[in-house]
Amino acid sequence: MPVAYVLYRYPQLSETFVDNEIAELTSLGVTVSVWSLGRPAPELAGPASIPLDAVHYLPARDELLRSFAWWAVRHPWRTLGNVALAVRCRSLTMLKGAWWAGWIASGVVAQGARLVHAHFAYEPACTAVPVGRLTGLPVTFTVHARDIYLRNRGLDQRVAAAARVVTVCEYNAAQLTQRCPSLSRDRIELVYCGVDPDTFTPRAHTRHDPPRLLSVGRLVEKKGFDDVVRAVGELRRRGLPVRCDLIGSGPLASSLQELIAVEGLVDSVQLLGSRTPAQLAETMPTYDAFVLACRIDAEGDRDSMPVVLKEAMSCGLPVVATAVAGIPELVTDDVGVLVAPQNPRALADALEGVLRDAVAAEEMGRRGRERVEEHFNLHVESARLAELFDRLTVADR
């Protein structure tokens, strides 16, 4: 079953879950062609399961113009409809998608694709939906997090045009039905961003002295790394020395470094920069606990259900996190501790409890890995997505 994937930048280090999904679908017999609207910066490029010379990258303007003109001549009303919808929604992103769509439409027809799928509801879905209108192919797209809350002009029109909308947690499903009048719950498919527990080694049950904490993510406001730093400072003031490593890169690196200095934690908290998925899988089991202090940022952006929490749980780490968005669907009280966001003292309380009770922490870690294996497994979730694609293409035939 040939499926065309429309992506923003492939392969992106912050979106390795997309590449994992493609690899798993391929192993299930789905033929995936990747259409990328750009290339990631070298320092942000992640692993790719598809040879990069087989990825279709957005071509030069002349080729885009030829493709657009071809469809405009043969299917003027479909082409005009894509442009008119973008204008009606006052969306420059949708207008760009209508422009790019001719190039992808010509390619997927030539390849015999049966369905078009996109990840994220902005540029990728803004392009995939016009491709579907031009070709008549069913279109699906996965909505993750910020694409619900930011740059969402015309979102209701896009979900109305999709054969199904996929999302990664029940919290997102509820948000989508509230924000998109055209979308009923029965048109939303819940497919978790799963992880493969077999790629993660459970940690050894030997405690470090001092205890070692890990937090991972882009260094942006919604990840709440400043609260993690302040919580570590609170633990130090209580006489509980800990070491905490922050893995990731982003615009807040310098301000976080300043906060670490102000809190007097230069010897306790390190910013380690980015790591590849393989490096992270290797180093994660060497920590005693995992902490993630997500919040809703000033613009309303938020995480849905961070994949890195599932990875930490796969390593048998007890997790301390904030009760934001879909995280409570993942982190139950038998696998970790949830606290209110933007509350470093509560974060410190939870971390202290986990670090002082080694027996309870070990049990949390064991149950966390079991929870991922049973409910957030990459193999199971990818099979569910493949079944959806098959069901929609059979209905289309």
Q: What is the CATH number of the domain that holds 127?
A: 3.40.50.2000
**Looking at residue 61, what is its pLDDT?**
96
Report how far apart, in Å, the C-alpha atoms of 50 and of each of 26, 33, 40, 47 are. 10, 9, 15, 9
391 in the same domain as 366:
no
**Residue 262 sits in the same domain as residue 384:** no
Please provide residue 203's backbone torsions phi and psi, each rounded to the nearest 5 degrees: -70, 155
Q: Which domain holds residue 341?
A: 197-375
Buried b / exposed e over 137-169, threshold 16 CB at 10 Å, is: bbbbbbbbbbbbbebbbbbbbbbebbbbbbbbb
What pLDDT score does 203 carry? 87
Considering the domain architecture, whether residues 221 and 352 belong to the same structural domain is answered as yes
pLDDT at 205: 74
What pLDDT shows up at residue 125?
Answer: 98
Peptide linkage before 11 cis (omega within 30 of 0): yes
- Residues 123, 221, single domain; the answer is no
Residues 152 and 260 in one domain: no
Same domain? For 223 and 359 the reply is yes
Are 156 and 228 in a shared domain? no
Name the pTM for this structure. Answer: 0.93
Q: Are residues 133 and 227 in the same domain?
A: no
Instruction: Mark whether 178 and 298 lie in a shared domain.
Output: no
The predicted pLDDT at position 395 comes to: 62
DSSP 213-231: EEEES-SSGGG-HHHHHHH
Give pLDDT, residue 337: 98
Q: Are residues 258 and 390 in the same domain?
A: no
Three-class DSSP category at 50: coil
Q: Return the amino acid letter for 390.
A: D
Which pLDDT score, from 0 to 100, does residue 14 have?
86
Distance between CA atoms of residues 211 and 242, nearest Å: 5
- Counting as low any pLDDT under 50, the low residues of the chain are none
- Number of independent structural domains in the chain: 2
Are the C-beta atoms of 195 and 379 separated by less than 8 Å? no
